[in-house]
Amino acid sequence: MGIIKTSEVHYLPAAGFFLSSAFWFVIGTLAGLFLASAMIAPDFPLYKNVSWLVFGRVRPMHTNIMIFGFVGSALLGSINYYVPRLARRPLFNVGLGRATVCIWNLLIAAGTVTLALGFTQSREYAEYIWPVDIAVLVVFGITFYNLMRTVADREEKVLYVSVWYALAALVFVFFIYFFGNAVWNPSTGAITGMPDGILAWFYGHGIVGLFLTPLAIGVAYYVMPVVCRAPLFSHTLSLVGFWTILMFYPHIGTHHLLQTPAPTWLKIVAITGSIGMLIPVATVLVNLWLTIQGRLSNIHEEIGGKFVFAGLVWYLLVCLQGPFQALPVVQRVTHLTNWVIGHSHIAVLGFSGFIAIGGLYFFLPRITGRDLYSRKLADIQYWLLLVGLTGFFMVLTIAGLIQGSAWLAGSVVYKVLPELHVYWVWRLGFGTLIAAGAAIGLYNVGRTLMGKTTKEKP
């Protein structure tokens, strides 16, 4: 009970998710550093002779930890805080909330261990085996029930858009995860043939676009008006963005399969939907920009707002690059290259990751009733992550263009690899900055939760 104020006990699940996020961020970035070093020296005995450290096992460990353990935990913590606040009701059942924190961490740990042991469904972002899949669905189901009961008993009659995004994300991700992991087929977690590829990328894109994206946008819609001390510019625009993202996003996963025998009509739908995504993205960004216009100085006074604002800038970049690389003429060069890896990193760590950290730093003092342990450390973390990810993205984008152009010109892989080596060295260097930022964040969050001084926050 010493972690947070007695009067704020119903925010314990949020605090648990925030601490989990900081912990898994460190583990995930360490796995990423290991992978980056293996790209530089693949013949090092450790990378070849220790089965649970081979690239093919560590890579899915890294991606799943970053998506679910780091970003997912922070965003789940955020909705466990702001949904009760916006409903003006305590969380319906704190015990259920704390149970979801425990189950969530156990399933990520179990998923990581089983992947290290070689048990996998071998599908992008859907590598967790069937028992872990069931646990994921249980957490989504319980969280939705807990928050829906909170909203149903609310005192505030008007549902702010952040609540819409939170509840919709939980509904959509439950079904996307269920179908994407073919839960009805526990032996493989897959179906067969080309339909499996289509289903896999319906899930692979959906887990980012209909889980991380709506939850991150919900946090941004909550945090930015408070930081800027101004009302949201337009509630109507926020709902336009909400419905259009649900309309366009489920259809775009097949743009990963343009060079496969997927149906042509489905490819056209995917490309059209990818371009159409500019509508919800522009709606969100214009709405928030008009909210903060003339109040940019306020953002730098609040470290949480600073992270969220940076995440929105990354969101703009991600969603300009995404439709561009969905065009067949561009994908001929960029597909299966380091360009795509750079894009995925700014989507998960840049957009949703920065906003997740911003939400964590914004909500944590309001949960504990104390100032953040160190604003200076949080600022250092901000710059480490910003410089690290910017350099990481630029290096991989350049490497991807070199790869794709060489392959398009008929060059073979073994001739291209020596040209990429220097870029992978730089990748490791920038990744080290990101890992250092993650370690600082864990220390800062831990000290904030264990702090003994109390200062009420508004």
pLDDT tens figures, 98-150: 999 999 999 999 999 999 999 999 999 999 999 999 999 999 999 999 999 99
Run of H or E residues at 252: none
Structure tokens at 70: 């780091």
> 3-class SS at 453?
coil
Q: According to the model, what pLDDT value does residue 335 have?
A: 92
Q: According to the model, what pLDDT value does residue 9 have?
A: 78
pLDDT tens figures, 171-181: 999 999 999 99
DSSP state of 327: S
- Phi and psi torsions of 393, nearest 5°: -65, -45
Is pLDDT of 221 > 70? yes
Please identify which residue in the block is written with the tokens 């509508």. 279
Residue 267 CB coordination number (10 Å): 18
Q: Which pLDDT band, with edges at 50, 70 and 90, does 92 fall under?
A: very high
Q: According to the model, what pLDDT value does residue 413 have?
A: 86
Q: According to the model, what pLDDT value does residue 414 have?
A: 86
What is the C-alpha separation between 454 and 458, in angstroms, rounded?
13
Q: Which pLDDT band, with edges at 50, 70 and 90, does 155 fall under?
A: confident
Q: Give which of 290, 168, 171 is closest to 239, Cα–Cα.
A: 168
How confident is the model over 30-46, as a mean pLDDT? Answer: 91
Greater pLDDT, 224 or 10: 224
Structure tokens at 344: 């995925």
Is pLDDT of 317 > 60? yes
What is the C-alpha separation between 404 and 123, in angstroms, rounded?
24
Contact 372, 361 (CB under 8 A): yes
Structure tokens at 58: 């560590």
Is pLDDT of 453 > 70? no
- Phi and psi torsions of 366, nearest 5°: -75, -25
Point out the least confidently predicted range of 7-21, 163-177, 388-402: 7-21
> 3-class SS at 223?
helix
Contact 443, 381 (CB under 8 A): no
Run of H or E residues at 125: none
Domain 6-449, CATH class in plain words:
mainly alpha
User: pTM above the 0.85 mark?
Assistant: yes
How confident is the model over 386-405, as a mean pLDDT? Answer: 97
Q: According to the model, what pLDDT value does residue 7 have?
A: 47
Give the N- to C-terminal CA distance of the chain in Å, as an integer: 21
Q: According to the model, what pLDDT value does residue 458 have?
A: 38
pLDDT tens figures, 369-381: 889 999 999 999 9
Per-chain mean pLDDT for the chain:
93
What is the C-alpha separation between 200 and 204, in angstroms, rounded?
6
How confident is the model over 407-429, as a mean pLDDT? Answer: 93
**Interacting residues of 232 by C-beta distance below 8 A, sequence separation 6+:** 161, 221, 225, 238, 287, 291
Q: According to the model, what pLDDT value does residue 457 have?
A: 44
Q: According to the model, what pLDDT value does residue 34 have?
A: 95
Query: What is the distance of C-alpha 255 from the center of its chain?
Result: 20
**Interacting residues of 262 by C-beta distance below 8 A, sequence separation 6+:** 194, 197, 198, 254
131-137's contacts with Cβ under 8 Å and 24+ in sequence apart are 132/107, 133/177, 133/181, 133/183, 133/189, 134/183, 135/103, 135/106, 135/107, 135/110, 136/68, 136/107, 136/177, 137/174, 137/177, 137/178, 137/183
What is the C-alpha separation between 295 and 291, in angstroms, rounded?
8
What is the C-alpha separation between 32 and 39, in angstroms, rounded?
11
Sign of the CA dihedral running 187, 194, 258, 175 = negative
Q: Which pLDDT band, with edges at 50, 70 and 90, does 296 fall under?
A: confident
pLDDT tens figures, 49-73: 888 999 999 999 999 999 999 999 9
**Interacting residues of 60 by C-beta distance below 8 A, sequence separation 6+:** 115, 120, 127
Q: Which pLDDT band, with edges at 50, 70 and 90, does 404 fall under?
A: very high
Is pLDDT of 456 > 50? no
Q: Which pLDDT band, with edges at 50, 70 and 90, does 10 fall under?
A: confident
What is the C-alpha separation between 313 and 295, in angstroms, rounded?
16
